[in-house]
Structure 1
Amino acid sequence: MTWVLLRGLTREARHWGGLPDQLLKAGLGPVTLLDLPGNGACWQQPSPTTVRAMMTAARASLAALGLMPPYSLLAMSLGGMVAVDWAQQHPADIERLVLVNTSMRPFNALAQRLRPACWPQLLRIAAQWKNPAGVERRIHQLTCANSDALQADTAVWQQIRRSAPVSSANALRQLLAAARFQAAAAAPACPVLLLSSAADQLVDPACSATLAAAWGARHDRHRWAGHDLCHDDPDWTCQTVADWLAQGTSATSYKRPS
């Protein structure tokens, strides 16, 4: 089984932190990290303005690496939209999906997909986009509930931003792609696990619940994490995925008792 990890809006492979190593230690590897165009190793490329084009680029990247399908995708936020489009357009490519704090039309309303309470903070982030220290501290406050390593986290994230700066134009292109994306009504043809966070300030966890109900998929909700669940509690993330796999991912209607 090859796990492919896809991050969200303006984030890249290094933002997964220690999660890839923990997946390997849990016996869930091997793991391949992909950057969407405009982010990370691809920061100098223009970001597509559609999720479909992002998906096509990700698919081509794996082919260029010589990695053949089927793949298991673990994807967060915007990456989750890319993963769903991939599974719906090329079902033979995808063995299973794990979607973290994602949302999409036609299943979720705008006010759920991007909570109005976070809009002022997002505008402040946009206003100081070229200030790595200020931007990364605000992103941490907005996306993370676990602040135990705040100083270390933001120092690492500032270095990432300086070494591979996502342009404001690419950030807007990615936001446009996320806003425009509309998934097909039919559920992906593979098993799906949805993970959400009760304290997500960006995306209402009801989005994952709605997707799970529409697709007959399992939904596990973390009781205190923020939007960046994989940062806040990577142990819980790995264990939940491992439990899901151990119970047989073909039984997608299974839902863990809360």
Structure 2
Amino acid sequence: MSTWILLRGLTRETRHWGALTDALRDVAGIEHLLPIDLPGNGEFSTVRAPANVAEMVDFVRLAALQSGVPGPYCVLAMSLGGMAATHWAQRHPAEIERLVLINTSMRPFSRVTERLRPSAWPTLLDVAAHWRDARRAEAGIHRVTCNRKETLDADLDAWSEIRRSRPVGRANALRQLWAAARFTADAAKPQCPLLILSSRGDELVDPSCSSRLAAAWHAPRREHPWAGHDLPHDDPAWTAEQIRAWLAHYDAELDAAF
């Protein structure tokens, strides 16, 4: 059975997947999960983050190899993690079996003001200015990435503790942002089966980024009606169900072909 590598986005780490990991097991039936932090985040928070996505991919490939779990891998990735997963699949196609991208964006398919919506810039500047104030910084991140607010206090408690226990340096955050801004994908679709998930209520990245990517690559896309950028936080059950249904449909097509 395939191993699924999970890659989060800018300054986020494996603990930020929250309830999604259980949902993937319970709803999608995915048992073998291998969450890996991008360099500069989480387990690797003391590592200097590269200023380009290609070096992030090299780092993640090595971490996967060192885990002892053989490939090829399925990869579930969001935002900056989605850029890394796309580059991995395009540069090393034999290593990636399936790919699910969540609320990601990349050149040449989207403009800079779509990839980072101007309405989010004031909040992000405030987060940067108060980077060492864990709760204030996390409150700003929550405001622009999450539309499910009933768990706000618990989220901020958990995220603030994550930030305090394994803080991401401001310089690492800026290098990750710079890498994301510069990343350009190949025009050709990755060779593996691909699913794109997006959120209609994303206030950080315009959902048109996902729709254009899906159109260019003739890939299936599913859009959540109200979730924010952090779709796994806002509706983990819906996210897992879309993956389950896609896998079932793809397996059915394979069976029919043979």
Q: Same fold (TM over 0.5)?
A: yes
Q: Shift of the alpha carbon at 1:172?
A: 0.3
- Cα offsets for 1:48-68 (capped at 9, x unmatched): 000000001000001001111
Distance in 2 separating the partners of 1:145 and 1:202: 11
The structural deviation recorded for 1:197 is: 0.4
Query: What are the superposed Cα offsets for residues 119-146 of structure 1, whole Å, 9 maximum, x if unpaired?
Result: 1111011000000010111111110000
* Residue of 131, 134, 137 corresponding to 1:132: 134
Equivalent in the alignment of 1:210: 212
Q: Show the counterpart of 1:107.
A: 109
CA distance in 1 between counterparts of 2:162 and 2:239 reads: 23
1:191 and 1:249 in contact (8 A); partners too: no
Q: Secondary structure at 2:98's aligned position in 1?
A: strand
* Cα deviation, residue 29, structure 1: 2.2
Cα separation, 1, equivalents of 2:140 and 2:118: 16
Alignment partner of 2:146 out of 138, 144, 148:
144
Shift of 1:249: 6.4
User: What fraction of aligned residue pairs are identical, expressed as a percent?
Assistant: 54
TM-aligned CA distance change 1:77 to 1:249, over 3 Å: farther
| Counterpart Cα distance in 1 of 2:16 and 2:24 | 15
* TM-score normalised by the chain length of structure 1: 0.96
Give me the whole-angstrom Cα distance separating, in 1, the residues matched to 2:45 and 2:53. Answer: 17
The yes-or-no answer on 1:74 pairing with 2:65 is no
Aligned length: 251
Match of 1:201 in 2: 203
Aligned to 1:169: 171
1:54-85 alpha-carbon deviations (Å, 9 max, x no partner): 00100000100111111010000000000000
* Matching residue of 1:256: none
Matched, 1:98 2:61: no
CA contact (8 A) 1:191 1:250 kept: no
1:134-163 Cα deviation digits (max 9, x unpaired): 011111111000011100010000000000
Unaligned runs of 5+ in 1: 252-258
- CA distance in 2 between counterparts of 1:39 and 1:239 reads 28
Is the contact made by 1:143 and 1:201 (CA closer than 8 Å) also made in structure 2?
yes
Which residue does 2:123 correspond to in 1?
A: 121
2:250 match: secondary structure? coil
Per-residue CA deviations over 1:180-226 (Å, capped at 9, x if unaligned) read 11101110001110000011011000000000000010010000000
Alignment of 1:1-258 (within 5 A): 1-26=2-27, 27-248=29-250
Q: Which amino acid aligns with 2:124?
A: L
